[in-house]
Chain A
Amino acid sequence: MITLELRYFARFKESFGKEAETLTLTHPILVADLLTQLRERGGWWEKELQSDRVFRVAVNHQVVSSHFELAANAEVALFPPVTGG
Chain B
Amino acid sequence: MDIRISIQTEDFSVDQELKKLGQSGESGAVVVFIGKVRDVDKTLEKIHIEHYPGMTEERLFDIAMQATKRWDVHAIRICHRVGDLYPNDNIVMVLVSGKHRHNTYTANTFVMDYLKNFATLWKKEHLKDQAPYWVEAKDSDLSAVTNW
A contact set with B: CB distance below 8 Å: 7, 9-11, 54, 58, 61, 77, 79-85
What residues of A have a CB within 8 angstroms of the CB of B112 in the complex? 85
Interface residues of B, Cβ cutoff 8 Å to A: 35, 49-52, 54-55, 58-59, 80, 91-92, 112, 115-124, 134-138
Shortest Cβ distance from B7 into A: residue: A84
* B80 (CB) vs chain A CBs: closest residue: A84
Q: In the complex, which residue of chain B has the Cβ closest to the Cβ of A77?
A: B52
A to B contact number (C-beta, < 8 Å)? 69
Q: Which chain A residues border B119 with CB–CB below 8 Å?
A: 82, 84-85
List 9 additional contacts besides A82-B119, A84-B116, A85-B92; criterion CB under 8 Å.
Answer: A9-B50, A10-B124, A77-B55, A79-B122, A81-B136, A82-B121, A82-B137, A84-B119, A85-B91
Determine if A85 and B54 form an interchain contact, defined as CB atoms under 8 angstroms apart: no
Q: How far is the CA of A10 from the CA of B55 in the complex (A)?
A: 14
Contact A83 B55 (CB under 8 A): no
Chain A positions within 8 Å of B52 at CB level: 7, 9, 58, 61, 77, 79
Name the B residues within 8 Å of A81 (CB-CB): 136-137
Q: How far, in whole Å, are A66 and B11 apart by their CA atoms in the complex?
A: 38
Q: Is the CB of A85 within 8 A of B137?
A: no
If A10-B122, A61-B58 touch, whether A80 touches B137 (CB-CB below 8 Å) is yes
A residues in contact with B138, CB < 8 Å: 83
* Cβ-defined contact, B120 with A83, below 8 A: no
Contacts of A11 in B (CB 8 A): 122, 134
Beyond A9-B50, A10-B50, whether A82 also contacts B55 by CB under 8 A is no
B121 engages A84 (CB within 8 Å): yes
Q: Is A85 within 8 A of B134, CB to CB?
A: no
Closest to A56 in B: B120
Q: In the complex, A72 Cα to B6 Cα: how many Å?
A: 30
Q: Which residues of B contact A9 (CB under 8 A)?
A: 50, 52, 120, 122
Chain B residues within an 8 Å CB radius of A83: 116, 121-123, 134-138
Q: Return the 6 tightest CB-CB contacts between A and B, nearest first.
A: A84-B121, A81-B137, A10-B122, A61-B55, A85-B116, A11-B134
